[in-house]
Amino acid sequence: MTNAHPTEIAVAVAGFGWMGRVHTNAYLRQRHHFPEAPTIRLGAVADEVPGRAEEAAAQFGFGAALTDWRDIAADENIDAVSITAPNFLHREIGVAMAEAGKHIWIEKPVGLSSEDAKAVAAAVEKAGVQSTVGFNYRHAPAVAMAHDLIASGELGTITHSRFRFLSDYAAHPDGALSWRYENARGGSGVLGDLASHGVDLIRYLLGDIDAVVADTAVFIPQRAVPTGATSGHARATGGKLGAVENDDFVSALVRLASGGRVTLDASRVAVGEQNNYGFEIHGTKGAVYWDFRRMNELGTSLGSRYQDQPVTTVWVGPDAGAYARFQPGSASSMSYDDLKVIEGNNFITSIVDGKPQGATIADAVAAAETLDAITASVASGAWVGVR
């Protein structure tokens, strides 16, 4: 992009499943919440599933409906691209878009391994384009408040914490054997899907990770092979069964560079758990508690009592993170999609200002290196250092 402060940015979306829709809505809502943002023009959408791109163009107003993402890379009128295709395509699409001079907003985990994430990072750096990665939970205003409390020393020295990402989206045994369950297309299973979010929150709130020791398990070893394209978490019964190749569950002990300790648990087959994502962080003086299902609340234990110190629920408000862009007073609800609007604004702002904002490809590389260390620890049964 030659204009240092563009008044219009032409965006495209590569891959139009659920997350492609989320990104598109985030673009359309930019000036609703961030009126200083430039105009966003939906230039093109690409998806290989027949008819899907055409439906997206008709519903959302994309200028072009394509079946091949390479046509986006070749379009000189596109400034920025959301990469919301399956994991195994992240590296190829990410590198190609960066080499074509497109800024990229790419979903985590950015490929199948740290090598994939590093390849995209190298292409971004060489091309001089901006990058944003879909670590959306760090944008919750309550998480921003927790970050500020920790950084200010209100909790003292952080001693030990628990981070959890538990869900039931794969708990049904009739869940179709989609790309998510294959090493070659999905990568590391729940590690890349949910634990990557946990790793990013740990790093964002508590700092660098020094070493990990971990265990993983597959609890539903076979699933039915779907006969056609799948979307979301589709079910399939009868027919051929295939092996689930990646992890349903992971539990890790994490040693921070600061000396603090963390437990990280993630599961995609946790019956009774729907988006049970959150953390409990303890320091020498206080603690904070957050649950995504009660996204706009933060539990805090602050003061000087140490023992028998009460926990207070704070209803976050306009002084926390980007809350004031959405609601005028405390305790009015925000949503998952709002977090993606904030993330999208980081992306757009980085393009306008030419400076990284929020989670970037460097954070994806750091998270991927931690996931690689977890995988190595599972294989060896020992502590593994994180590069």
Q: What does the alpha-carbon distance between residue 128 and residue 114 come to, in Å, rounded to a whole number?
A: 21
Q: What is the pTM of this model?
A: 0.94
Q: In what order do the strands lie in the sheet with 39-46?
A: 65-66, 39-46, 8-14, 80-83, 103-106, 131-133
Q: What does the alpha-carbon distance between residue 375 and residue 277 come to, in Å, rounded to a whole number?
A: 22
What does each C-alpha distance from 78 to 123, 155, 316, 387 come to in angstroms? 18, 46, 38, 36
Which helix (H) or strand (E) segment is 32 a member of? helix 30-33
Encoded tokens for 206: 């508590």
Domain range list for the chain: 8-136, 138-331+361-385
CATH superfamily of 8-136: NAD(P)-binding Rossmann-like Domain (3.40.50.720)
CATH superfamily of 138-331+361-385: Dihydrodipicolinate Reductase; domain 2 (3.30.360.10)
Q: What does the alpha-carbon distance between residue 298 and residue 319 come to, in Å, rounded to a whole number?
A: 13
**Residues whose CB falls within 8 Å of the CB of residue 115, separated by 6 or more in sequence, listed in order:** none
Q: What does the alpha-carbon distance between residue 278 and residue 129 come to, in Å, rounded to a whole number?
A: 32
Shortest CA distance to 159 belongs to which of 262, 12, 71, 229? Answer: 262
Q: What does the alpha-carbon distance between residue 305 and residue 321 come to, in Å, rounded to a whole number?
A: 28
User: Are 108 and 367 a contacting pair, CB within 8 Å?
Assistant: yes
What does each C-alpha distance from 345 to 45, 99, 118, 166 come to in angstroms? 20, 23, 24, 28
User: Are 339 and 323 a contacting pair, CB within 8 Å?
Assistant: no
Tell me the residue type at 374. Answer: I
pLDDT in tens, the chain (387 residues): 445 678 999 999 999 999 999 999 999 999 999 999 999 999 999 999 999 999 999 999 999 999 999 999 999 999 999 999 999 999 999 999 999 999 999 999 999 999 999 999 999 999 999 999 999 999 999 999 999 999 999 999 999 999 999 999 999 999 899 888 998 888 889 999 999 999 999 999 999 999 999 999 999 999 998 876 555 567 776 778 999 999 999 999 999 999 999 999 999 999 999 999 999 999 999 999 999 999 999 999 999 999 999 999 999 999 999 999 999 999 999 999 999 999 999 999 999 999 999 999 999 999 999 999 999 999 999 999 998
